[in-house]
Amino acid sequence: MRTEQITAQALKNVNFDRYLLANAVGKRAEQLSRGAQPLVAFNPKKNKYADIALLEIAEGKIAVSLES
């Protein structure tokens, strides 16, 4: 899947809230960099943590919600 398609699907999963998506990707990428297990298949030499986080959100593996 192309990056544009992944981003579009991820935005759809967060009700097109770009700010919420950016925060979610950042937090998940940080978790991945600290050793969290990825929930999708990826090539560690080709994909960055942010790419993996975005793909997890796009595929619905990570639920993103607005917290008060």
Local structure of residue 68 (DSSP, 8 states): -
Whether 46 maps to a domain, the answer reads yes
- Tell me: pLDDT of 64 over 90: no
Measured distance CA(38)–CA(9) in Å, rounded: 18
Instruction: Give pLDDT tens digits for 3-50.
Output: 899 999 999 999 999 999 999 999 999 999 999 999 999 887 888 999
> What tokens appear for 20 in the block?
């919420």
- Is-contact 10 58, C-beta < 8 A? yes
Domain that holds residue 31: 3-58
- What is 15-65 written as a DSSP string? TT-HHHHHHHHHHHHHHHHTTPPPSS---TTT--HHHHHHHHHHTTSS---
Whether 25 maps to a domain, the answer reads yes
Whether 50 maps to a domain, the answer reads yes
- Tell me: pLDDT of 68 over 50: no
* Total domains present in the chain: 1
